Amino acid sequence: MNQIVEACQRFYLEDLQVGQRFTSDCCHMNEDRIKAFAAEFDPQPFHLDHAASRTTVFGGLAASGWHTAAVAMRLLVTGGLPLAHGIIGLGCELEWAKPTRPGDTLRVETEVLEVLPSRSKPNQGVVRVRSTTFNQDGESVQVFKGKVLGFRRQAT
């Protein structure tokens, strides 16, 4: 069940169920932004220089995995995982399945894997999710499996 989310709709712990899915908007990755991010945060040749990148394992210019993760976070925050009170991470496993390239258009699909109300904090719980970032060809470029904090509308 893919969830169509209104711009202002936010989900509380009691609204979430295992198997529920959310899909983000899209973000186009252009070469200038890839290079700018890399220059500031991950200045390696395969993120900055076409000629140098061709001789690496990537075989061409690739966005930093951290850039892909940052874009995925933005897509999640703006509707791809519309949690009330924001997305507060409690830990994760992050995998980069293939490089993000200039010209790619990314989107994130998130599935709720588990909803665990807290026994000690009645106003919150833990939500386990899998968020997969896809390019325009439907290829997975990143998989985030994590735990995020979920809040109830009211303490029980």
| pLDDT given at position 1 | 47
Radius of gyration over every alpha carbon of the chain, rounded to an integer in angstroms: 17
Domain contains 120: yes
Per-residue pLDDT at 9: 85
pLDDT in the model for residue 8: 63
Of the candidates 100, 133, 95, 128, which has an alpha carbon nearest to the alpha carbon of residue 114?
128
Q: How many domains does the chain have?
A: 1
Note the pLDDT of residue 69.
98
Q: CATH number, domain at 70? A: 3.10.129.10
- The answer to whether position 17 is within a domain reads yes
Containing structural domain, residue 31: 2-151
pTM over the 0.85 mark:
yes
* CA-wise closest residue to 97 among 53, 52, 131, 124: 131
Residue 156 lies inside a defined structural domain of this protein: no
Question: Is there a domain that residue 90 lies in?
Answer: yes
Per-residue pLDDT of the chain (156 residues; tens, 9 = 90+): 445 444 568 999 999 999 999 999 999 999 999 999 999 999 999 999 999 999 999 999 999 999 999 999 999 999 999 999 999 999 999 999 999 999 999 999 999 999 999 999 999 999 999 999 999 999 999 999 999 999 999 755
pLDDT score for 154: 77
- pLDDT for 155: 53
